Structure 1
Amino acid sequence: MSGKLIVFEGTDGSGKATQAGLLCQHLEREGVPFREIDFPRYGKPSAAMVQEYLNGNLGKRPGDVSAYAASLFFSMDRYASYKQDWGGFYESGGLVVANRYTTSNAVHQASKLPEEERKEYLDWLFDLEYNKLGLPRPDLVLYLDMPTEITERMMRQREQATGTHADIHEQDETYLKNCRANAKEVVKDCGWTVINCASDGVPRTVEDIHAQVYRIVKKLL
């Protein structure tokens, strides 16, 4: 018996963590059992190479590390997470809500490649994680689409408010634009559900976005 896996995806700063958290709060109010997971698992040994990469210790720009190498860093963290944390719950029929997943590699790492090489990479990625590693395929991927100029502004505000430092993905606006352009094709090819998070260049409220999210999720429950 397998459970259900709902994934929130989007470029950096699109509100994935916020919307995943709001959904989990709603599920709790409704009495629906669930597990919430978040990638990468910063601070865990399995995410050490992810942190080396994102901190710029393997290259100061995202393109300094190949799509395939970077993908392996994230894949190993997901595999360890599944084996150590939520796999048993999922396999017993549980509902799992993920902030990022294999889908993040599809958005971020494929964007590093020429367009004609992206399908080959995506086939490799999904075969690696879903077949070779045995990780579950998502039942629903909610792609939060926010214009890059808005996410850039929101990330800079977040940095100032929290005193945190942007990683090499978040610092590179051109890279984020490429990720968003790549994601538009991935979304269509993979059948993800798009949530438009802005209207006429103005961000929608988190409550409005959540209401749309829950209407979609409710059909899966």
Structure 2
Amino acid sequence: MNGKLIVFEGTDGSGKTTQTKLICQRLEREGIVYREIDFPRYGNPFAEPAKRYLEGDLGKTAGEVNAYAASMLFAVDRYASFRQDWGAFYQEGGLIVANRYTTSNAVHQASKLPPQERKAFLEWLFDLEYARLELPRPDLVIYLDMPTEITERMMRSREAQTGTHADIHERDDAYLRQCRANAAEVVQACGWRVINCAAGGEPRTPQEIHEEVYGIVKALL
């Protein structure tokens, strides 16, 4: 009996990692057994092609690498992770909480295409990963919607404070806006649950967002 797969999705800087951690901590406190997964798996050799893409080795901007080619790089990492790491746990009925998944390609890569080509791309993407590679379809996708101007501000502040290096997605403000616009269509087409992460031009608190997340997750479990 297969388990359940919950995915956190959103554009860069929307709070996916924070909300994944908060829900995992909540599940642990409540004694619910789960596995947490995160993509790309930096440091794993199967994630190296995706890492090289994000660092600009295949093109200095995201648009220089076409949607299909970039999606294949990330799919390799997901397939390997399922085979190496969490597949057996999931197939035995386990709960998986994912920070990004196939859904990230739906948000980021489809945005590179003209609107009239995106439906065909999504059909190809989901067929590749869920049918051909036999990866699980998510039972729940929570899309964290943060206005791009807020994520830009937050990411630039984080870079200044930590000295971290933004990848080719994160440092391209126009691309981030394009991804969010595309995501609004994908969310509707795929039936994802949307959480608005800002109010009055400012981000909501992580705990406030978490309580809304938890209400959605609890209904699934």
If the TM-score is normalised by the length of the shorter chain, which range does it land in?
Answer: over 0.9
1:150-165 → structure 2 map (5 Å cutoff): 150-165=150-165
The aligned counterpart of 1:40 is 40
Looking at structure 1, the residues matched to 92 and 33 of structure 2 have their Cα atoms a distance apart, in angstroms, of 12
Deviates more, 1:181-190 or 1:195-204: 195-204
1:25-174 → structure 2 map (5 Å cutoff): 25-174=25-174
Deviations 1:142-177 (CA, angstroms, capped at 9, x unpaired): 000000010011111111222210000000000000
Unaligned runs of 5+ in 1: none
Looking at structure 2, the residues matched to 168 and 203 of structure 1 have their Cα atoms a distance apart, in angstroms, of 24
TM-score, length of structure 2 as denominator length: 0.99
Looking at structure 2, the residues matched to 4 and 174 of structure 1 have their Cα atoms a distance apart, in angstroms, of 35
The aligned counterpart of 2:184 is 184
The aligned counterpart of 2:214 is 214
Looking at structure 2, the residues matched to 155 and 40 of structure 1 have their Cα atoms a distance apart, in angstroms, of 19
Deviations 1:122-148 (CA, angstroms, capped at 9, x unpaired): 000000000000000000000000000
Looking at structure 2, the residues matched to 76 and 158 of structure 1 have their Cα atoms a distance apart, in angstroms, of 30
2:4 is equivalent to residue 18 of structure 1 = no
Deviations 1:90-115 (CA, angstroms, capped at 9, x unpaired): 00000000000000000000000000
Looking at structure 1, the residues matched to 161 and 44 of structure 2 have their Cα atoms a distance apart, in angstroms, of 25
| Partner AA of 1:177 in structure 2 | R
- SS of the residue corresponding to residue 143 of structure 1 reads strand
- SS of the residue corresponding to residue 32 of structure 1 reads coil
Looking at structure 1, the residues matched to 97 and 123 of structure 2 have their Cα atoms a distance apart, in angstroms, of 24
Measured after TM superposition, the shift of residue 195 of structure 1 is: 0.4
Q: Could you tell me the percent identity over the aligned residues?
A: 71
| Partner AA of 2:61 in structure 1 | R
TM-score, length of structure 1 as denominator length: 0.99
Measured after TM superposition, the shift of residue 202 of structure 1 is: 1.2
Looking at structure 2, the residues matched to 5 and 145 of structure 1 have their Cα atoms a distance apart, in angstroms, of 20
- SS of the residue corresponding to residue 118 of structure 2 reads helix
The aligned counterpart of 1:196 is 196
Measured after TM superposition, the shift of residue 201 of structure 1 is: 1.0
| Partner AA of 1:134 in structure 2 | E
Looking at structure 2, the residues matched to 170 and 56 of structure 1 have their Cα atoms a distance apart, in angstroms, of 12
- SS of the residue corresponding to residue 82 of structure 2 reads helix
Q: What is the count of residue pairs matched by the alignment?
A: 221
- SS of the residue corresponding to residue 19 of structure 2 reads helix
Deviates more, 1:149-158 or 1:180-189: 149-158
Looking at structure 2, the residues matched to 181 and 121 of structure 1 have their Cα atoms a distance apart, in angstroms, of 16
| Partner AA of 1:58 in structure 2 | L
| Partner AA of 1:126 in structure 2 | F
Looking at structure 2, the residues matched to 153 and 86 of structure 1 have their Cα atoms a distance apart, in angstroms, of 35
The aligned counterpart of 2:5 is 5
| Partner AA of 1:41 in structure 2 | R
